[in-house]
Structure 1
Amino acid sequence: MKQADVVGRVLAVSDMHSAYERTAQLLAAFETEVRSNPVPHVIAIDGDIFEHGNVVAVRSGGAVDWAFLRALPAIAPTVFNLGNHDNDLTPDLAEVVDRMEGLGIHVVSTIGDTRTGAGYAEPSTTLPFGRRSLRVVGMATNSLTTYPKASREQLTIPSAPDWARANLADSLAGADLVMVMSHAGVAADRDILPLLPDGGLMIGGHNHLLFQHRQGRSAYVHTGSWTAAYTVAEFLSNGSVMARSLPIALNAPASPALADLIADTLAANLTEEERVILGTSPRALSLGDTGRSVAAGLAKVAGADAGFIGHTTLGTGVPAGPVSRYVFDSIVRFDGKLMLASVPRAQFDSFMAHANQDRPMPLADRSGDFLYASTIAPTVDPVRIVTTDWCATNQREYFGTTDLRFVEAAGLTVKTASAAGLLTP
């Protein structure tokens, strides 16, 4: 595609979750993209830049995340759609929005403040895009239990599809170019997509997925998670949008000032216990392969035939070499009990058909919440499965059923079993 055919470009990322191993590299990539492509740019962050599970983020007040955000408006106009982790470090979402806007970032959201009856931010904004303009609309997930508990009474959040059906057309009235940002997940997004004007861009988040989907002249993308990738979407002069994903390597060029801040922040905030090496990974694994290795480890430790673990229980893929407790906590984010159940082979096969959604698959088959799964006894019937207490409690969302009868695997925990599956002593 000739450069003259590109009207403007969007650099999009979501679900960063205070993943500092690549934050400086991502900032450098954005700087290079804008410097190397002399067309208008917008930077779009589709929620969840912060992570309460990162002890360094908590202790430093998100110093690295805020430094990253502070740098963005100097690169290109920046818009942020609020997710469910953006008040992880600062419970009052109003304070988060005020600080972002004070940095020159445009914030959009459908989250309302029960204390005032108003929204924490407007649901739409219009950004300059060279000689054109870009209308941006942002929607949040209404899964209230995924927001910090201390803040839930302050939040009122409509269903994203319901809000879109009632308001999206008015929000886009008179728009030039269009970008819809949804942090509601794939299942909700499928109901919103038919409302997207042809030639628009829709950015999805919340499910930690990485894919691109074509709808007429429009593009619908999920940009990955944990700062492992970003998406470049190009609005073209023929009225279409093209998108592609680019990975961020650990050894990619990094923004020097941010890299120094990250090193200093880690040094100042990590305890000796968090620096302890739990074991060694013989090789680096992708997020999906890490999930499957963890699932296999759960099965072996629990004496089951197959293991399942929720996709967002995992943060990033395991690196090669020694793995500290701090790094391991970014791989397996949450702890909990392990739960066992026996299921008929046919039902088990249906679970496997919907698991491991990091693979290419039709949009209609994506469920949003999904399981990484691994089978270690492929022919038994019934099949003894093991999963986390979170997935067992929320089995409708993860397994698509409510009839599984789970019992606790006594004495076993998610993190201990996961470490056994991933690391060698």
Structure 2
Amino acid sequence: MLLKRRVVLGMISSTALLPFVSLPVAAAEQGVDFIILSDLHSAYERMAQLLLAIQSRVSSAKRPQVILFNGDLFESGNVVATRSAGEADWAFLGALAKLAPTIFNIGNHESDLDNDLAHFIERAKGLGVTVLSNIVDKRTGKPYTDAAATLKAGETTLNIAALGVNALGTYPKPTRELIVVPEPVEYAKANLPSLLKKDGINIVMSHAGVVPDRDILPMLPDGTLMIGGHDHLTLIHEAGKTRYVHTGSWGALLTIAAVATSGEAAKIEQVSIDRESPATEDLKAVIAKVLAANLKEEDKAVVAKTAKAETLGETARFTASAIAAKVGADIGFIGHTSFGTGLPKGDVTRFDYNAAVRFEGKIMKAEVDAATLAEILKRCNQDGDVPLASRTGDFLYAVPAVAGDKKTYTIACNDWSAINRKAYFGREDLAFTEVPDLKLKTLVVEALGKA
């Protein structure tokens, strides 16, 4: 199967053939299956397992398969990714492009290892990946690449539009000086009506986050497949025949959206990917090689031991509880995307630990009255079945549950949460002060040693 592309961004360019050839299929069935990935973040503990799951899916498919990667392939906090220039990540992306047509929307971590997005785009396109983004190169005043495309998958037309996240503080600092990112909702109002069509399957790949996505959803033609990212959430939201999905992070989940025909609702399937699952041997060997070549002794040092594997949520709640206990606070808070994955079972090396607790930070505390705390807690612990209208995007875990009837409470959190208090706590009037001589990562390691 060849994929035809007609780029749409203000004007329509000439039609070009993309260098994609699908695997042969046993029999042609109507529609398209979309294999959805997002926020992988150099997840070497699951990347080869994830690839095998995709290979198995494609090899047994009876209709066209299209891979949609909604941003954040890399993670600068992964020292092996940084030291190897993303060798394993590039091998993974190249393998995807050989399996099926692969469409990539630029996230805020594509410039983690090389701060110029133009370099990522050039290399990814060289692998046969279609790269989309509405981010503008400040140096030229022009978009880095096409922001939308019309493609053919078998006999089905795909209309795909891409949006980036305009929270510049989440990009590497050198990259911020090179980019202009349109405000997502205003960009959608101005552009999506011309980019999404009556004919074909409409797809919006948004790395903007839940909050702007929620305002964009009502603009979309019924039956659109909208893919969210950036907030590391797992959700499926239905609005008529439109489906809005997030597929988690760190390769822990594979999402399949099957669309039988244009305008019909996608049927969503989500598959968990375990660290211990079977893996693709070629990529497994590449990952083993880069780990051996780039892990230093301090990275391999065991910093904790666990009795069982912990989920991301369990690791985050443990951390929030440890913060509260260490500073004598009534309740501790920590942001969801401060974590990449959960802690493994048994010996936890520094490398493993940094994949779980992503960022270092200071510890902050504040005093709040009971009414203020009650309002804050309404926004917390959104990793369950939370309606889209109540979601805030990245959110705070709050532990322990508040008991008693006090007039004021002491709360504690990491400095990123305190700095971004409006987004996390929903208010600007919290007077945080730093707890001296205390850092987040050391605090959690100490608490794990006592667990």
Under TM normalisation by the shorter chain, which class is it?
over 0.9
Q: 1:36 aligns with which of 38, 60, 74?
A: 60
Q: Deviations over 1:276-305 (max 9, x none)?
A: 000111221211121111100111111111
Q: 1:269 aligns with which of 285, 288, 294?
A: 294
Matched ranges for 1:210-359 at <5 A: 210-237=234-261, 239-359=264-384
Which residue of structure 1 lines up, in the alignment, with residue 432 of structure 2? 406
- Secondary structure of the equivalent of 1:354? coil
Q: TM-score, normalised by structure 2?
A: 0.91
Matched, 1:132 2:156: yes
- Preserved contact between residue 281 and residue 423 of structure 1 (Cα < 8 Å): no
Q: TM-score, normalised by structure 1?
A: 0.97
Matched ranges for 1:121-200 at <5 A: 121-173=145-197, 175-200=199-224
Which residue of structure 2 lines up, in the alignment, with residue 386 of structure 1? 412
- Preserved contact between residue 307 and residue 375 of structure 1 (Cα < 8 Å): yes
Report the AA paired with residue 89 of structure 1: L
Which residue of structure 1 lines up, in the alignment, with residue 14 of structure 2? none
Which residue of structure 2 lines up, in the alignment, with residue 112 of structure 1? 136
Report the AA paired with residue 256 of structure 2: V
- Preserved contact between residue 294 and residue 422 of structure 1 (Cα < 8 Å): no
Q: Distance in 1 between matches of 2:32 and 2:164?
A: 25
In the TM superposition, what is the alpha-carbon distance from 1:4 to its structure 2 partner? 8.7
Percent of counterpart pairs with the same letter? Answer: 45
Q: Deviations over 1:318-371 (max 9, x none)?
A: 111110111111111111110011111222122222111111111000001210
Which residue of structure 1 lines up, in the alignment, with residue 12 of structure 2? none
Q: Deviations over 1:230-265 (max 9, x none)?
A: 211010247221212211011112110000110111
- Preserved contact between residue 29 and residue 63 of structure 2 (Cα < 8 Å): no
- Preserved contact between residue 29 and residue 62 of structure 2 (Cα < 8 Å): no
Report the AA paired with residue 418 of structure 2: A
Report the AA paired with residue 371 of structure 1: L
Structure 2: tracts of 5 or more residues without a match: 1-26
Q: Distance in 1 between matches of 2:404 and 2:156?
A: 59
Q: Distance in 1 between matches of 2:379 and 2:401?
A: 18
- Preserved contact between residue 182 and residue 205 of structure 1 (Cα < 8 Å): yes
Q: Say what the alpha-carbon RMSD is for the aligned residues.
A: 1.5
In structure 2, the CA distance between the partners of 1:374 and 1:19, relative to structure 1 (3 Å rule), is same
Q: Distance in 1 between matches of 2:30 and 2:50?
A: 23
In the TM superposition, what is the alpha-carbon distance from 1:5 to its structure 2 partner? 7.6
Report the AA paired with residue 232 of structure 1: I
- Preserved contact between residue 279 and residue 424 of structure 1 (Cα < 8 Å): no
Q: 2:446 aligns with which of 393, 405, 420?
A: 420
Q: Distance in 2 between matches of 1:104 and 1:49?
A: 16
In the TM superposition, what is the alpha-carbon distance from 1:116 to its structure 2 partner? 1.1
Q: Distance in 2 between matches of 1:320 and 1:423?
A: 14
- Preserved contact between residue 278 and residue 323 of structure 1 (Cα < 8 Å): yes
Structure 1: tracts of 5 or more residues without a match: none
Q: Deviations over 1:148-172 (max 9, x none)?
A: 1011111011011110000011112
Q: Distance in 1 between matches of 2:97 and 2:47?
A: 16
In structure 2, the CA distance between the partners of 1:224 and 1:325, relative to structure 1 (3 Å rule), is same
- Preserved contact between residue 22 and residue 227 of structure 1 (Cα < 8 Å): yes
Q: Distance in 2 between matches of 1:150 and 1:252?
A: 38
- Preserved contact between residue 159 and residue 197 of structure 2 (Cα < 8 Å): no
- Secondary structure of the equivalent of 1:339? strand
Report the AA paired with residue 365 of structure 2: L
- Secondary structure of the equivalent of 1:318? coil
